[in-house]
Structure 1
Amino acid sequence: MAAGQQVSSRVVTVPNVISLVRLLLVPVFAVLIVEGYDLWALVVLAVSGASDWLDGVLARRLDQVSRLGQMLDPAADRLFILVTLLGLAWRDVVPVWLVVVIVGRDLLLVSLLPWLARHGYGPLPVSFAGKAGTFALLYAFPLLLLAEMPGWLGDAAAVLGWAFTWWGIGLYWVAGLQYVAQTRSLAAAGRDADPAPREETP
């Protein structure tokens, strides 16, 4: 979000509609990947990746940054990553440890929410590292699926796909550790701001 840009409470905005469409594509992709319709699954992944970039651009240019959008966009990203990972693991395209590493990071962030809520904070805004990691993973998955094709195209896709995967994992966990540090700082600031209990006058 640009400096000084207002965050509205509007619900119906162009970026929010795009994020909602991306959410609706999640079960479509799940069916396609499980049933083995790889070409159509790749199309859905490409549309999802493009829409993820588009809704952010439109939110800034149309001045339609909203609180709902700030929650909906990362939620759609994480749900797409989770479903894609599970589908690819189901097909033995990616190993199970990759699912554990990425899902483990998201579970770490979920565990921070009660701490934040206790001190009056909502979910932390998405950091640059978190967004970059998400983009890398969303680029990695279609490439890993394309790597199932025989020949040089599959080989090239495998190299690029795993390169994006490792970058995505690294940035994803860097962002996760940043969120942990921010949560600890906010919790400490909240404790320092609490007034000391006054003694009762006898």
Structure 2
Amino acid sequence: MNIPNLLTLLRIILTPVLVIFLMQGSYSKALIVFVVSGLSDGLDGFLARTLKQQTKLGAYLDPIADKALLTSSFLTLAILGALPGWLTVIVISRDCIILLGLAILSFMSISFEIRPAFISKVTTMFQLLTVLMVLMVLGLTGGGEYTGMYLIYWVTALVTILSGLVYLIRGIRLINRSQ
């Protein structure tokens, strides 16, 4: 166990804390937890690279921590009516489709390397930014609907769909090559 992996575990542990704060309407506290989680995400990657402490465990835990944080945030905020349900469906559906694709490749005994596409990193950034913006509106202003938020919703939806298509195309190519 090293510092980057401990930071990733911290992010996983903070996810239910974030959900509890959201459910209690403690939006300022939720914002703080989300910011700490986001900073720990950047810090764990930076430390893993600079300290040469990249591990197989970290390679698995980091995306799990990201997905746990984002899925929990989107789902909870949608249930609370603070985030559009349609956007949450797009975000979670993309992840489910990717997992289904990985399962199909495994069942077909097709070897593959899990490498995030550039668009996937952009997608994660926009999804994090979307949650951050919603939490800022809730935590700093007490709520309300801002027209400017719809732009970030649509951009997030677009990059999420595009990244899902990139992974779908990658999966189809792997299947076609194996036959």
**Into which bin does the TM-score normalised by the smaller protein fall?**
0.7 to 0.9
Unaligned runs of 5+ in 1: 1-11, 192-202
Report the Cα distance in structure 2 between the residues aligned to 1:176 and 1:98, rounded to whole angstroms: 14
Look up the SS of the partner of 1:20 in the other structure: helix
Q: Is the 8 A contact 2:19 2:76 kept in 1?
A: yes
Quick one: which amino acid aligns to residue 129 of structure 2?
A: Y
Looking at structure 1, the residues matched to 123 and 24 of structure 2 have their Cα atoms a distance apart, in angstroms, of: 28
2:34 matches 1:45: yes
Indicate the larger mover: 166-175 or 52-61.
166-175
TM-score, normalization by structure 2: 0.87
Q: 1:168 aligns with which of 132, 156, 174?
A: 156
Name the aligned partner's letter for residue 173 of structure 1: I
**Percent of residue pairs identical:** 31
With the length of structure 1 as denominator, give the TM-score of the two structures: 0.78
Report matched runs for 1:28-107 at 5 Å. Answer: 28-107=17-96
Once the two structures are TM-superposed, the CA of residue 163 in structure 1 deviates from its matched residue by 3.6
For structure 2, the residue ranges without an aligned partner over 5 or more in a row are none
Number of the residue aligned with 1:141: 131
The 1:170–1:127 alpha-carbon spacing in structure 2 relative to 1, beyond 3 Å, is: same
* Aligned counterpart, 1:24: 13
Alpha-carbon RMSD across the aligned residues, in angstroms, is 2.2
Relative contact order higher in (CA < 8 Å, ≥ 6 apart): 2
Cα distance in 1 between the residues matched to 2:57 and 2:160 = 23
Which has a greater percent of helix?
A: 2
Counterpart residue number, 1:125: 115
CA distance in 2 between partners of 1:67 and 1:169 (Å): 31
- Whichever residue aligns with residue 2 of structure 2, its letter is T
Aligned to 2:102: 113
Higher-Rg member (1/2): 1
